[in-house]
Amino acid sequence: MTLNFEQKLQNYARLAVQVGLGVKPGQRVLVQSPVDAAPLARLIVREAYAAGAGFVDVRWDDDDVQLARFQLAPGGTFDQISKWRVDAEIETAEAGGAVIAIRATNPNLLAGVDPERVATHQRAWASYRKPYSSQVMTNRINWNLVSAPIPGWATLMFPDATEQEAMEKQWDAIFAATRADQPDPVAAWHEHLANLKHRRETLTGKQYSALRFRGGETDLTVGLADDHIWGGGSAETPGGITFTANIPTEEVWTAPHRERVDGVVVSTKPLSYAGTLIDGIRIEFKDGRIVSASAKQGEAALQKMIATDEGSHRLGEVALVPHSSPISRSGLFFYSTLYDENAASHIAIGAAYRFNIRGGIDMTNEEFAAAGGNDSLTHVDWMIGSAEMDVDGITKDGSHEAVMRGGEFVI
């Protein structure tokens, strides 16, 4: 059965609400969307009401407005933020609501902007948003990220196509990556989530003390936090709402130990960060902390990101993704972490998710750090996996077990 565009878009909106958010009757919902993605946002609003939402609100974003500020606003003003935009998230979370974000921006939007302006804004935004991001990092609310094509992003992905053709090609790529092009995508997602659950439970049961990554120029040993838990696929709020934070998702991940990461790691895909492309990342760790960092492109943005705070000098996530994942097989580079992190194993600089350590949600900051958890204002994933990557699990007695070979799971 071949679906037309309208049917695929409807499927996508239904997936976002039913599989992504898991909206419950009477729940409040906040939708965050670029103005260019208004048709999808409107469908999500309708799907949320159909699922029983009591009130659905929309917060609009616009690349052109953001770019104008960074290009034209006077210096010394970039620590000012629109607090009401964050307050909408906090208010929704405090009301027991759900938040869905349609993330779509031109990856090169701020390429010509002074990185200090961007870094100042990022720090101010992350600091004020900390109460909300803490809710997200502990799964206290049901939340979800999806995406949609916008012209500047689509033409970057497909530079040889016209703008209209690029938008159509990007929609096709997104529908395929999210299974929205299948006749019953909800059923397909339930099967996929069951497979991810089996993988994460198997890895949690192993309780490896560390993972060793070897491939290309990478030789990195990532110690794992004490009594760590692997995540992957769907999750559950304390109130029992099942949701899937990212659509698409192909990863299983856990918390590194903040003081037990050693070696050299080199990126295998570019990173789109805060409107800048960073490529050719090479970082060396010793005793968990970054001791040197460079990039072939966007190094200034990388250094500013690492300098965010003490926690941004350490890792908060390590994730495993098979090289044969659907996004990897597509051969496309999306210039978006939401997609590209699901094409390759990756690590994240910055904060760890509290739920990746048993009891971490209820720990004090000191207890969480003692267990190996990392805290930071930032959390940035970047890709290190490839068809050459081998991953060993190191047991507590120091022996090695094969987890991945040539980028594929063997465990």
Q: For 124-135, how does the pLDDT look when each residue is reduced to its tens digit (9 = 90+)? A: 999 999 999 999
Assigned domain for 243 exists:
no
Q: What is the pLDDT of residues 65-121, one digit of tens each?
A: 999 999 999 999 999 999 999 999 999 999 999 999 999 999 989 988 999 999 999
Q: What is the pLDDT of residues 212-242, one digit of tens each?
A: 999 999 999 999 999 999 999 999 999 999 9
Assigned domain for 202 exists:
no
Q: Is the pLDDT of residue 1 over 80?
A: no
- β-pairing, 98-102 vs 28-34, is parallel
Higher pLDDT, 107 or 205: 205
Residues making up the chain, counted from first to last: 411
Same domain? For 227 and 145 the reply is no
- Mean pLDDT of the region 288-315: 97
Same domain? For 58 and 173 the reply is yes
Q: What is the pTM of this model?
A: 0.91
Token readout for 37 is 């993605």
Assigned domain for 194 exists:
no
Same domain? For 112 and 212 the reply is no
Same domain? For 104 and 211 the reply is no
Same domain? For 13 and 81 the reply is yes
Same domain? For 277 and 365 the reply is yes
Q: What is the pLDDT of residues 355-408, one digit of tens each?
A: 999 999 999 999 999 999 999 999 999 999 999 999 999 999 999 999 999 999
Same domain? For 215 and 106 the reply is no
Assigned domain for 30 exists:
yes
CATH number of the domain enclosing 73: 3.40.1830.10
Predicted pLDDT of residue 274: 85
Same domain? For 265 and 359 the reply is yes
Q: Is the pLDDT of residue 275 over 90?
A: no
Same domain? For 307 and 164 the reply is no
Give the end of a domain, one of 160, 178, 196: 178
Assigned domain for 244 exists:
no
Q: For residue 313, what are the domain limits? A: 207-231+249-409
Same domain? For 215 and 291 the reply is yes
Q: Which amino acid, 389?
A: M
Give the end of a domain, one of 178, 198, 223: 178
Assigned domain for 236 exists:
no
Assigned domain for 274 exists:
yes
Q: What is the pLDDT of residues 312-356, one digit of tens each?
A: 999 999 999 999 999 999 999 999 999 999 999 999 999 999 999
Assigned domain for 222 exists:
yes
Give the CA count within 13 Å in the CB-facing half-sphere of 389.
Answer: 29
Phi then psi for residue 263, to 5 deg, are 120, -170
Same domain? For 142 and 225 the reply is no
Same domain? For 303 and 379 the reply is yes
Q: How many domains is the chain partitioned into structurally?
A: 2
Give the CA count within 13 Å in the CB-facing half-sphere of 306.
Answer: 22
